[in-house]
Structure 1
Amino acid sequence: MAKKPEDKVLAQNKKANHDYFIEETIEAGIVLQGTEIKSIRNAKVQLKDAFIRIRNNEAWISNMHISPYEQGNRFNHDPLRSRKLLLHKKQISTLIGETKRDGYTIVPLKMYLKNGFAKVLIGVGKGKKEYDKRDVLKKKEAKRDMDRAFKERNQ
């Protein structure tokens, strides 16, 4: 299990917690080109439709949008290119084993800076069914109502 990010969160995939039961998280570095880190530091990154695929025993993140840097001119990068994730061989093999099971996938959860390096928190999650999503929303709403009633009673 990875530690929670202590530094500034630059991008968050809120849809992942809605669509998946996240069971395990791992912190991964990311290989960047040229001006991508400058765009990331300006929080011009989006994880909404991103997904992680394992190819040739390497982890790759696809569909992560990093906007081109404004002062980058011809040195700018392709915003939607696949980027390699930096993981240990043992971590990749456990991810492969986890995703072999039915309904499990690897999704990016957060992107943040840690000691000046861009890191991605990835999670292994099992897809939720439609009734699971409704059930979770009902529980959240009931908890919110109970907290509101408790707060009113104490005042």
Structure 2
Amino acid sequence: MPRFARLFEAAADSLNAFYQAVTDGSIDSMMSLWIDEDFASYICADGSHWHGLEHIRAGLAAQLEAGALPASIEPLDIRVYDSLGTVVYAIAEAHQPADPLETPRMVFSTYVMVHERGEWRIAHIHASPMPDDTATHFAAKLRHGQGPLH
């Protein structure tokens, strides 16, 4: 019996590739994951708004140069909403700083992925800093194995 790939697992592969590109600090790898359209947009946790691929690339390059990109991103809680051709991930993330002694920054991120020419691409990212009270509550539940939404 033939084995079929699950369509939405491929979207998760693209998201994981984005996380790896951030860890590697590779702007080219990050940008290769975006949809090839000027309507792409990125709202950063610091409040920056970037619209269009040129602005996204320039913004990411400036953050990388300033050391403002996380050393890695750890997804802590993932919610997936999918339909034919679009997948939306709502994720609570820990953005790990380069200094392992520093506290990770807790961020809520939404990724909109679009199926384009046989591949899943990022069309939009919206990241918001998690309020301190929420981050503390979230971390406590994770330490107790309850998950973030119990």
TM-score of the aligned structures, taking structure 1 as reference length: 0.30
TM-score of the aligned structures, taking structure 2 as reference length: 0.31
Query: Rg: which structure is higher?
Result: 1
Q: Which has the higher contact order (CA 8 A, sep 6+)?
A: 1
